[in-house]
Amino acid sequence: MEVFPVFYDVDPSDVRKQEGTFAKAFAEHEKENIEKVQTWRVALRKVANLSGWHLRDRSEAEVIQDIVKVTFDKLRHSHTFLVDTKKLVGINSRVEQLMSHLAIGSKDVRIVGIWGIGGMGKTTLARVVYDMVFNQFEACGFIDDVRVNNEKHDLLWLQKELLKKLLICKDIDKKDVNDIDLMLKNRLRHKKILLVLDDVNESKQLDKLVGSRD
């Protein structure tokens, strides 16, 4: 378990030394249970020695953005590999070929298509490579069953799902497709992104979910 303390309207030294308001509060609680308060003291000394955030003169919004970024990066890099490639016959050579097309180290915009008959392992190949490289990107998303969801819902619904995954947005209130198009361009065009669209069967799906190379 990793702990990232946030010192909100309190000095880290007061937490470490249990001075100021902590001294008064602990003195009151020790009247009821000295042993419990002692465990609190030990825990707070450890917390105060950890790297975290101290608001000081910074705005809450800035600190929240920092916390979200660090936490999300930690979660991305701790992600476990989901597919056991030993059970997938012939997958390794296909993985190497697809990786070479991605050219992750370059600054180009790459669009790579995996085409073939159903059941040949296109989705599995995409998922394996995605799990191997996603933590090298600022944002990433794997949109499943584009064809089915386009028929079941619509392209606007798919665009909202894409924004939710790439921008970690829970609620997208925009109802107009053009507004979503602008949001996709403005919010994502300067980020290094990995996007996988699974089971695309119409060019308009690519137009609305990917757009142009800029």
For residue range 83-106, what is the model confidence (pLDDT) as tens digits?
556 667 778 888 888 888 887 878
Q: With 80 as the cut, is the pLDDT of residue 78 above it?
A: no
Contact 98, 85 (CB under 8 A): no
Q: Which of 55-59, 87-91, 99-103, 186-190 shows the lowest per-residue confidence on average (mean pLDDT)?
A: 87-91
Locate 130 and state its tokens. Answer: 């995605």
* Mean per-residue pLDDT of the chain: 82
Q: Is the pTM of this model over 0.85?
A: no
Q: With 90 as the cut, is the pLDDT of residue 196 above it?
A: yes
Bridge partners (DSSP) listed for residue 53: 6
Domain ranges of the chain: 6-68, 77-209
Confidence of residue 80 (pLDDT cuts 50, 70, 90): very low
Look at residue 13 in the predicted model and tell me its pLDDT. 87
Confidence of residue 39 (pLDDT cuts 50, 70, 90): very high
Q: Which of 6-15, 23-32, 98-107, 180-189 shows the lowest per-residue confidence on average (mean pLDDT)?
A: 180-189
How much is the average pLDDT of 179-198? 81
Residue 116 region by backbone torsions, left for phi larger than 0, else alpha for psi between -120 and 50, else beta? left
Confidence of residue 208 (pLDDT cuts 50, 70, 90): confident
Q: What is the CATH number of domain 6-68?
A: 3.40.50.10140
How much is the average pLDDT of 131-157? 87
Contact 160, 106 (CB under 8 A): no
Locate 210 and state its tokens. Answer: 């990917």
Q: With 60 as the cut, is the pLDDT of residue 175 above it?
A: no
